[in-house]
Amino acid sequence: MILKDKVALVTGGSRGIGKAIALKLASLGANIVINYEKNQESADNVIKEVESFGVKGLALQCNVADYKSCEDMVKNIAEEFGAVDILVNNAGITRDKLILRMNDEDFSAVLDVNLKGAFNCSKHVASLMLKKKIKGKIVNISSVVGLIGNVGQANYAAAKAGLIGMTKSMAKELGGKEICINAVAPGFIETDMTKVLSEAVIEKMESAIPMKKFGKPEDVAEIVAFLSTPSSNYITGQVINCDGGMVM
């Protein structure tokens, strides 16, 4: 069990990619805290699955866009588990609109959750890691859209590109303390987020992917697992695409 006795916090862990990450890290022996915003029932169900691996699980409600709530969440985890060894900033939302139809609120909401949310959690977790002298891992779930842009996603692309900039900056700041910060950039993955796409859009997207299919949440979870274990101890500040060859 390569992650035995480690503690991992996965934001937005009650479904989709976050859930797959929580289960994968639990299967490697890590105790798991998932953060959820609204759906306590789904979060509790994920915790039951997590605990079936013989590790501890805890679900904490918190809107990652709120700085103070993130501070309190990290304090709670420190009291319950003593530390956070792995943080996965996965919580994310979309508010897709063409730029001329996108309003101030659409832009800010996406930046607040997808980018500021990752800052809010990273800041408090990194502080705890430094205090406890933990050789920690932070993995940010970005997107290929942050690398190449996408029609209707100026807000989302800005947030995901910003997350890559933050990943590299934090990697430079914290590398000397052996805290590694990396990002994963998924392409199209089968989750609730992509369920809303029309058949026509899905077909068009699939034809543009060399592997001709969307990925699964588990595909992303495998990379996060690699970036969370000692196997990746000399890797920091990197962005790993998980996109069936969409961006190369």
For residue 35, is it left (φ>0), alpha (ψ between -120 and 50) or beta? beta
Quote the least distance from Cβ 185 to ligand NAI, whole Å: 7
Q: Which residues contact 2 (CB under 8 A, 6 or more apart)?
A: 28, 29, 229, 230, 231
Identify the residue among 10, 64, 73, 134 touching ligand NAI (CB under 6 A).
64
Q: Using CB under 6 A as the criterion, what x/- string covers residues 116-155 for binding ligand NAI?
A: -x-----------------------x-x------------
Identify the residue among 28, 78, 102, 193 touching ligand NAI (CB under 6 A).
193
Task: Give the residue ranges of DSSP H helices in the chain.
Answer: 16-27, 40-51, 67-81, 104-111, 117-131, 145-148, 154-174, 192-195, 199-207, 217-228
The string of DSSP letters for 7-36 reads EEEETTTTSHHHHHHHHHHHHTT-EEEEEE
Identify the residue among 27, 150, 194, 238 touching ligand NAI (CB under 6 A).
194
Quote the least distance from Cβ 165 to ligand NAI, whole Å: 16
Cβ atoms of residues 92 and 141 within 8 Å: yes
For residue 244, with 0-12 CB atoms within 10 Å meaning exposed, 13-18 middle and 19 or more buried, which class applies?
Answer: buried
Choices 34-42, 73-81, 96-104, 205-213; region in contact with ligand NAI by CB under 6 A: 34-42
Q: Using CB under 6 A as the criterion, what x/- string covers residues 74-93 for binding ligand NAI?
A: ----------------xxxx
Residue 13: phi and psi, rounded to 5, are: -95, 10
Interface with ligand NAI includes 16 (CB under 6 A)? yes
Choices 130-138, 147-155, 190-198, 231-239; region in contact with ligand NAI by CB under 6 A: 190-198
Interface with ligand NAI includes 22 (CB under 6 A)? no
Q: Which is nearer to ligand NAI, 143 or 236 (CB)?
A: 143
Active-site residue list: 156
Cα end-to-end distance, the chain, whole Å = 34
Quote the least distance from Cβ 176 to ligand NAI, whole Å: 28
Choices 22-30, 60-68, 78-86, 147-155; region in contact with ligand NAI by CB under 6 A: 60-68
- Of 154, 174, 34, 160, the closest CA to residue 95 belongs to 154
Q: Which residues contact 133 (CB under 8 A, 6 or more apart)?
A: none
Interface with ligand NAI includes 58 (CB under 6 A)? no
Contact residues for ligand NAI, defined by CB under 6 A = 11-12, 14-18, 35-37, 63-65, 90-93, 113, 117, 141, 143, 186, 188-189, 191-194
